[in-house]
A and B are shown apart, each in its own frame.
Chain A
Amino acid sequence: MIASFDALEILLALGLTVTALACLFDRHLVRACCFFVAFALAMTLAWWQLGAPWLAAVELLLGAVLTGLCFFYALGRFFPGVSSSLERDSFNEPWSRSFARLLLALAWFVMVGAAIRYVITDMVYSPDEQPLLLAGVMITASALGAFALHRHLLRRLLAFNILGSGVFMLLAGVAGTSASAQALITVGLCIAWLGSMLGALLIRQLLHLEGVDALGRDGNPKENAT
């Protein structure tokens, strides 16, 4: 029973990590969004698995459905023709930037991992018995790294969402599914959805008005002049 649970958790954790990473680092935006939906669904499962059906429901509704819709709206899939839809992230980062972000993400991974390690020392589990937690740390660190790395607005929004899920996962992992934790996560999910919605609206609006799809180097006169 435990082993099967473990196996399921490990699978879930792996699935989460893989979908998250795919979502974060796929330059093809539509695909990334699809991965995100997949990730959200996996999260729903994970919540279920962790024994928080309420959260699972919220995640399904807010995370997978509504947020996913937001992303596709932002991609311009609903009202095509109003303005060009987004396909690919065409920014090329200098390798130094990527490298720095990688290092930062690793460092965060270590830091958060260490913190978790300290938090749960008095628990019976060791971290490797908590695959979801490990996945949470992994997702958090890489999402943050990706967030800092990307410039494309949609990808940053995606990264933010993934990051949020990772954080929620960690929260649930370390704090269990107590009422407080559930409340925090619920609020967080709502906020994430609201934020994503706002972000999606903004992205569309920006595309519509100016064709801006990224927070480019702000040294450019566009933002400077005003």
Chain B
Amino acid sequence: MMTLLLALSLLWPLAVAGVVIWQTYRTPSARRDYCSVLWLSAAWPALLLAYGGEAQWTIDAWMLGGEWELNALSRPWLAFTALLWSVAALHARGYFATEQAQAQAGDQAAQRRLMRLALLWPLTLLGNVLLIIAQDIASFYLGFALMTFAAYALVVHSGTQEARLGAKAYLILAVVGEGLILGGFLWAAGEANTLTLQGVREGILTAEHGAWMATLLWLGLGVKAGVIGLHVWLPLAHPAAPAPASAVLSGAMIKAGLLGWISVLPLGEEGISASLAQLGQVMLVAGLAAAFGAALYGVFQRHPKAILAYSSISQMGMLTALVAMGLVAPAVWPLLWPGVVLFAAHHALAKGSLFMGTSISEHLPRWPRALIWPLLALPGISLAGAIGAGMVAKWSVKSPLYEMHHESLIKLLSWAAVGTAALVGVAVWRQWQQRHQGGSNPWQWGAWLTGIVAALATPLWLPLPADSVAMPPLKEWLGIMWPLPAGVVIVTVGGALLRYVNVKAPPAGDLWWLYAGVTSAVLVPMRLIARGCGRVKAASVLTSKQAEEALMGYLPRLLAAEYWMRHHASGLMMVLALLLAALLMWEGQR
């Protein structure tokens, strides 16, 4: 049964993609429904699978040997991922309704865009699902790569200048990331002679250069997870991508990197070497830096989706810091990881809802304002840890840290939560500023509402191990909730202060511009060198050609000696006879 479900959950998206292709060629464009019910159902088998219980599969014929598993970690992960994908798909049906109408009316460009999206959406999903259940490197890498590259279409969907820039940034960093991951995997797997993620984990733990392997993997996967420095694609890609795509990008796919870390880094293992612990420190610092830096930079953004992207970076920074704890303080990890999963799941759905919310604020339904704006803010508030699942999540990471006496980190995380709150506040404010009336589709807001509910109720449906999460005790509520008002206040005050100072919003994508500048600066001398080499090559080719020509010109003159020889054949015979005789005599007389 589980195997059937597994096969279904992998094949179903493929089948959906196939159907999309089929209908492109068979259904007349006027009746083509890109987001049909079938298309919506792409993620459903996976969702079912997550709730099917734990299971294990070994398929020898699959690539380098397939090892798939649904375990305590991958089940909840699959659950929230599949859920978010389903919700986002529902949202997409509404979101793309206008475009679809255009397409059905015969707009070629819209047809093309929708077809592309409809085709690659299930493939991205497939990659995402595969990487979650994969326990062997090849499958994981396959899923990761499939997801990464298929998602390009989601980012570039609208085809505008910004979308293309975002997609470009996304793709370049993805390629860099793939390279780093491959390097890390090769290194670790080569040293440990293994083909599974488990083996990689153990290999990193025991290998001499384990820290370096771990660094490669951390950075490679960190591209997706938005480690500081490699995060630049997020604020560029998200504003440009359609809202449902942003939702899955920021909710589900960004978590793939996190899952990768958890799968390959020897978190919480006995006997972590000093260098690995050092890496942990670096990760910790990087995570916290991302958490604060992104918040600081993000609040100045104008585009709500850019702000949300920065919020994602910030949140992922926190998660990075938490994962780092698995290396820095291995003992805490067994207690910590359910909290991390919960945090991730909650962030996924909350961020998904927030992104979906941006599309709602652009097409506000005719509901009472008092209803809409709280709803729009609700996932954000939860994200800041003030209510619902956010609070539970925050507590479930805090309490193990308390137990192990990492109060300073807790403090820092709380301060980071202030940043989150500030970002959410700014985001909602920007949405308010840029709101548009009308045109909202029931699918659109239905999915959004579902997302909010699911986000707020995350601990209830997430198949985590029993008793791994609990509501925070009342006395801790204040300690968890204070960042929200603090953040909001800071933002309000800051905003009020800055109103009189003419601050230009820094461009989204912060370091991207630096990278681009550096790269083009580096490329200038490279081009010069290349041109120089080309010139040298051309010159040498020319010289050798000339030499050849000269030689060829000389050759006929040389060959004129043939006539001389022809003419003097008898004389030459005489010479030869004399020569031979002389030689022979000389040799004989010696």
Which B residues lie within 8 Å of A144 (CB)?
Answer: 570, 574
Kindly list chain A residues whose C-beta atoms are within 8 Å of the C-beta of B577: 108, 111
The residue that A104 contacts in the complex, of B566, B578, B581, with Cβ under 8 A, is: B578
**A218 and B581 form a contact (CB under 8 A):** no
Residue B553 at the A interface, CB < 8 A? Answer: no
CA distance A219 to B562 in the complex (A): 9
1/0 per residue, CB under 8 A from A, across B545-556: the answer is 000000000000
Is A215 located at the chain interface by the 8 A CB criterion?
Answer: yes
Choose from A108, A111, A217 the contact partner of B567 (Cβ within 8 Å): A217
B368 within 8 A of A: no
Tell me if A39 counts as interface (CB < 8 A to partner B): no
Closest Cβ neighbor of A100 among chain B residues: B571
- Known contacts A144-B574, A148-B574, A218-B563; 16 additional CB pairs below 8 A are A100-B571, A104-B575, A105-B574, A107-B574, A107-B578, A108-B574, A108-B577, A144-B570, A145-B574, A147-B570, A148-B570, A148-B571, A215-B567, A217-B563, A217-B567, A218-B566
CA distance A147 to B566 in the complex (A): 14
| CA distance in complex: A101, B574 (Å) | 9
CB distance from B570 to the nearest CB of A (A): 4
Task: Determine whether the beta carbon of B563 is less than 8 Å from that of A104.
Answer: no
Does any Cβ of A come within 8 Å of B560's Cβ?
Answer: yes
7 closest residue pairs by CB, A with B: A219-B563, A148-B571, A148-B570, A104-B574, A218-B563, A218-B566, A107-B578
8 contacts between A and B (CB under 8 A): A105-B574, A111-B577, A111-B578, A144-B570, A144-B574, A148-B568, A215-B567, A218-B567
Kindly list chain B residues whose C-beta atoms are within 8 Å of the C-beta of A145.
574
CA gap between A72 and B577 in the complex, in Å: 33
Contacts A217-B563, A218-B566 known; A108 to B578 CB distance under 8 Å?
A: yes
- Contact B581 A111, beta carbon cutoff 8 Å: yes
CA distance A144 to B570 in the complex (A): 8
Residue of A100, A101, A148 ringed by the most chain B CB atoms within 10 A: A148
The answer to whether A219 and B560 have CB atoms under 8 Å apart is yes
Q: Smallest CB–CB gap between A62 and chain B, Å?
A: 24
Residues of A within 8 A of B568 (CB): 148
- Chain B nearest CB from A85 CB (Å) reads 26
Report chain A residues within 8 Å CB of B575: 104
B543 to chain A, nearest CB (A): 33
Chain A residues within an 8 Å CB radius of B578: 104, 107-108, 111
Which single residue of chain A is at the shortest CB-CB distance from B575? A104
| Alpha-carbon gap, A111 to B582, bound state (A) | 9
From B563, B568, B574, residue with most partner A Cβ within 10 Å:
B574
Return A98 CB to nearest CB of chain B, in Å: 11
Whose C-beta in chain A lies nearest to the C-beta of B574?
Answer: A104
Which of B563, B567, B570, B577 is the most central at the interface, judged by chain A CB atoms within 10 Å of its CB? B570
For A149, give the chain B residue with the smallest CB separation.
B571
- Could you tell me which residues of chain B, from 287 to 332, have a CB within 8 Å of some CB in chain A? none
Q: Which residues of B contact A218 (CB under 8 A)?
A: 563, 566-567
Interfacial residues of chain B within 552-590, with CB under 8 A of chain A in the complex: 560, 563, 566-568, 570-571, 574-575, 577-578, 581
CB distance from B295 to the nearest CB of A (A): 92
User: Nearest residue in A to B578 (C-beta to C-beta)?
Assistant: A107
Closest to A105 in B: B574
What is the bound-complex CA distance between A110 and B570, given in angstroms? 18
Q: Which residues of B contact A104 (CB under 8 A)?
A: 571, 574-575, 578
Indicate whether A101 sits within 8 Å of B571 (C-beta atoms), given known contacts A108-B577, A111-B577, A111-B581: yes
What distance in Å separates the Cβ of B331 from its nearest Cβ neighbour in chain A?
A: 99
Interchain CA distance A145-B578 in the complex, whole Å: 13
List, in ascending order, chain A residues with CB within 8 A of B581's CB: 111
A148 CB contacts on chain B under 8 angstroms: 568, 570-571, 574
**B584 CB, min distance to chain A CBs, angstroms:** 11
Give the shortest distance, in Å, between A152 (CB) and chain B (any CB): 14
Give chain A interface residues in 72-115, CB to chain B under 8 Å: 100-101, 104-105, 107-108, 111
Cβ contacts under 8 Å, B560 to chain A = 219
Q: Whole-angstrom distance between the alpha carbons of A215 and B568 in the complex? A: 11
| CA–CA, A50 and B264, complex, Å | 114
Complex: A217 Cα to B560 Cα, angstroms: 11
State A72–B568 Cα separation when bound (angstroms). 27
Complex interface: chain B residues within 8 A of A101 (CB): 571
Give Cα A144–Cα B560 distance, bound, in whole angstroms: 26
Of the listed residues B571, B577, B578, the one surrounded by the most CB atoms of chain A closer than 10 A to its CB is B571
Within the assembled complex, what's the spacing in Å between the Cα atoms of A100 and B574?
A: 11
Instruction: Give Cα A218 to B563, complex, Å.
Output: 6
B568 CB to nearest A CB, Å: 7
- Alpha-carbon separation in the docked complex, A215 to B567 (Å): 8
With both beta carbons as reference points, the residue of chain A lying nearest to B566 in the complex is identified as A218
Within the complex, what minimum Cβ distance (angstroms) separates A177 from chain B? 26
**Chain A residue nearest in CB terms to B565:** A218
Query: B565 to nearest A CB, angstroms?
Result: 10
Give the docked Cα–Cα distance between A219 and B567 (Å): 9
Within the complex, the shortest CB–CB distance from B569 to chain A, in Å, comes to 9
**Interchain nearest-CB distance for A147 vs B (Å):** 6
Shortest distance in angstroms between A108's beta carbon and chain B's nearest beta carbon? Answer: 6
Residues of A close to B567: CB separation below 8 A = 215, 217-218
Q: Within 8 Å CB of A108, what residues of B?
A: 574, 577-578
Could you tell me the distance between the alpha carbons of A144 and B577 in the complex, rounded to whole angstroms? 12
Inter-chain CA distance A104–B577, complex, in Å, is 10
Residue of A nearest to B573 (CB): A148
| B563 proximity list for chain A (CB < 8 A) | 217-219
| Bound Cα distance A147, B571 (Å) | 9
Within 8 A of B (CB), among A174-226: 215, 217-219
**Distance (Å) between the CB of A212 and the closest chain B CB?**
15
The interface bits of chain A over 131-152 (1 if a CB of B lies within 8 angstroms of the residue's CB, else 0) are 0000000000000110110000
Chain B contacts of A105 at CB under 8 A? 574
Write the chain A residue with the least CB distance to B560.
A219
Write out the residue numbers on chain B whose beta carbons fall within 8 Å of the beta carbon of A217: 563, 567
> How far does the Cβ of B588 sit from chain A's closest Cβ, in whole Å?
11
Q: Nearest chain A CB to B417's CB is how many angstroms away? A: 99
Distance A145 CA – B571 CA, assembled complex (angstroms): 8
Minimum distance in angstroms from A83 CB to a CB of chain B: 25
Q: How far is the CB of A196 from chain B (nearest CB, A)?
A: 17
Docked Cα-Cα span, A104 to B579, in Å, equals 11
CA distance A145 to B573 in the complex (A): 11
Give A74 to B451 CA distance when docked, in angstroms: 120
